[in-house]
Structure 1
Amino acid sequence: MTMTNKILTVTLNPSVDILYCTDTFEIGNVHRVAKVSKTAGGKGLNVSNVADILGLNVTATGFLGGPNGEFIKSLLEESGITRDFVDVPMNTRNCINIASGGSHTELLEESDTVPFEYAEVLLRKIEQYDDIDFAVISGSLAAGIPVSIYGDIIRRLNDKKIKVIVDVNADILKEVLKEDIEIFMIKPNREEAAALFRDEPVRPHGVEHLIVSLGADGLECFNSSGRFKVSVPQEEVKNTVGSGDASVAGFIHGYSAGGLTQALQSMAAAGTANAVQETTGYIDINDYHNLLKKVSVRKV
């Protein structure tokens, strides 16, 4: 059943994610692909997919264009996710993930340049959302769109008292955190946290929850109540791509249902549930509920 909480995902550089599964992979050789899957990709759309599986009411926005953009729209329509994208004249990119022998090789296309006029259209669209509880802004920027758009979007969401989650790389996050804005949660991984903080992670001004993803070592959360350590179940991993996005969806699902502790438990379970699947940005709901029982949260 769909939960009453409504979330908005903003994907500024979406893609068609193509997964090729092969028995072996060697550069320079010809390979027959045993399995192919194509999914709606980009970090925000991965969040959308998992949030939808968890029963959240999802609206997805961002930039889409060309045949790939239409393909992504069709996938979202099949899932029942509300689509409210800005249509651009350039074709949305592809991203390729080659899975072989337990390892993954990613080939990420750069996007074509999106004229700034389309950024202004997106900002006007953002101003129209009045009944959203959480907004997730995640992933990279399409070429041609300035990094300042993150602050522009967040200020509009702040005006509407919407809880904003930002999941972007360290270079972009550094710029975002210079803005006079309020952010409900940021989620750098271990390497990104090392780039952001000289020593121990410190919750930045304006950020309510700083959560550092530590891979197999779990999560750490820093907020005004203190520091929390979250375990993650040790399972056989098939594909970690999209696990961070799944964990964001899990955080919202848990927070909506029961507050911070449940959010952290759900975050760890959803991220792990994605990792045990071959498909990017996907969880099996039964895996999620089973993994949820194995997560522990303790205050440090």
Structure 2
Amino acid sequence: MIYTVTFNPAIDYVIKVDDLTLGKVNRTKREDMYCGGKGINVSNVLANLGIDSVGFGFIAGFTGDAIETGAKQLGFKPDFIRLREGMTRINVKIKSNEESEINGQGPDIHEDELEMMYQKLDTLKDGDILVLAGSIPNTLPEDVYEKIMERLQDRKIQIVVDATKDLLLNVLKYHPFLIKPNNHELGEMFGVELKNNEEIIEYGKKLQEKGARNVLISMAGDGAILITEEGDVHISPCPKGEVKNSVGAGDSMVAGFLTGYLKAGDYKEALKMGIATGSASAFSEDLATKDKIMELYEQL
């Protein structure tokens, strides 16, 4: 079974305004609401591809109710911990002449509530896949990913980590199955600007030296590079299309990669499915559908 963790889920309220003017009343041209959060996005796209998953996370208040209901509608099993205080955050994403975002903080998570999460994770079995994705709320310890991986290190659980900077670097000692920085995040980790594929591969291999097994580096419209634990390097371009929405494209790539790997047991095939799935989300108003994914898959 695949399990995803979203520590700080959100209702994403996406509005379109023709000409946003600060200090005046603006009226929306279009409004959409989505269940947001990187782990939720991964589970959503897995469901679209026919792969079952369970979503872990924390929810609170009436917005938490909406997240739980939405997860069921999206096709994956929610197994969230309900917090005793606060409400799940709302993120406002404004699309106008420029794109702007106002992200909520989210509720406080108490120590005993975090312990409930650890207990859920302790039920995972050998062969399961765990996806840790996204930032950590400021009410949780910064090393929570490390603590999770330390607890699970003696089991044969494939752990995927999609995080940035120290949050990612500090877990490499536990040998995650897959990490997915983008090329800019990879450069930031080492304080360099990466200008070509050779440099991206060089620094991707440095993450392997620190403990990562497989390194998947997304490069937006330039495709992706996969450096496998077998020592192979695969470079894949993106299919052509009009970018409509970049939100969730990286999470979709993770879902596609896992789907390809589970079905074929082959890293090159996993990369191909990951590229098609990430691109399908980028070329759509919402997250990737199976039909769109397979259409782009055939182009690669």
TM-score normalised by length of structure 2: 0.90
Q: Which of residues 98, 103, 110 is equivalent to 2:94?
A: 98
Once residues 175 and 151 of structure 2 are traced to their aligned partners in structure 1, the CA distance between those partners, rounded to angstroms, is 11
What residue ranges of structure 1 are gaps of 5+ in the alignment? 1-5, 296-300
Once residues 78 and 159 of structure 1 are traced to their aligned partners in structure 2, the CA distance between those partners, rounded to angstroms, is 35
TM-aligned CA distance change 1:205 to 1:171, over 3 Å: closer
User: Residue in 1 aligned with 2:210?
Assistant: 205
Number of positions where the alignment pairs a residue of Structure 1 with one of Structure 2: 285
What residue ranges of structure 2 are gaps of 5+ in the alignment? 193-198
TM-aligned CA distance change 1:216 to 1:23, over 3 Å: same
1:202-241, aligned counterparts within 5 Å?
202=205, 203-223=208-228, 224-241=230-247
- More deviation in 193-202 or 270-279? 193-202
Cα contact 1:239–1:274 (8 A) shared by 2: yes
Cα RMSD of the aligned pairs, angstroms, is 1.7
User: Residue in 1 aligned with 2:120?
Assistant: 125
Please tell me whether residue 290 in structure 1 is matched to residue 295 in structure 2: yes
User: Residue in 2 aligned with 1:56?
Assistant: 51
**What SS does the aligned partner of 1:283 have?**
coil
1:99-178, aligned counterparts within 5 Å?
99-101=95-97, 103-130=98-125, 133-177=128-172
User: Residue in 2 aligned with 1:246?
Assistant: 252
- More deviation in 125-134 or 72-81? 125-134
1:245-284, aligned counterparts within 5 Å?
245-258=251-264, 259-279=266-286, 282-284=287-289
**What SS does the aligned partner of 2:242 have?**
coil
Once residues 20 and 244 of structure 1 are traced to their aligned partners in structure 2, the CA distance between those partners, rounded to angstroms, is 22
Once residues 215 and 296 of structure 2 are traced to their aligned partners in structure 1, the CA distance between those partners, rounded to angstroms, is 23
**What SS does the aligned partner of 1:85 have?**
strand
**What SS does the aligned partner of 2:137 have?**
coil
Cα contact 1:232–1:294 (8 A) shared by 2: no
Once residues 271 and 188 of structure 2 are traced to their aligned partners in structure 1, the CA distance between those partners, rounded to angstroms, is 23
Higher relative helix content: 2
Once residues 60 and 132 of structure 1 are traced to their aligned partners in structure 2, the CA distance between those partners, rounded to angstroms, is 17
Give the drift of 1:195. Answer: 1.5
Give the drift of 1:131. Answer: 6.6
TM-aligned CA distance change 1:71 to 1:276, over 3 Å: same
**What SS does the aligned partner of 1:207 have?**
coil
TM-aligned CA distance change 1:157 to 1:292, over 3 Å: farther
**What SS does the aligned partner of 1:206 have?**
coil
- More deviation in 147-156 or 239-248? 147-156
Superposed CA offset, 1:45-83 (max 9, x none): 111111110111110001111111111001112233111
User: Residue in 2 aligned with 1:38?
Assistant: 33
1:6-25, aligned counterparts within 5 Å?
6-25=1-20
Once residues 240 and 24 of structure 2 are traced to their aligned partners in structure 1, the CA distance between those partners, rounded to angstroms, is 34
Once residues 125 and 221 of structure 1 are traced to their aligned partners in structure 2, the CA distance between those partners, rounded to angstroms, is 31
Once residues 284 and 143 of structure 1 are traced to their aligned partners in structure 2, the CA distance between those partners, rounded to angstroms, is 33
TM-aligned CA distance change 1:131 to 1:49, over 3 Å: farther
**What SS does the aligned partner of 1:238 have?**
coil
**What SS does the aligned partner of 2:177 have?**
strand
Q: Which amino acid aligns with 1:9?
A: T
Cα contact 1:157–1:164 (8 A) shared by 2: no
- More deviation in 52-61 or 270-279? 270-279
Cα contact 1:111–1:143 (8 A) shared by 2: no
Higher relative strand content: 1
Give the drift of 1:31. Answer: 2.2
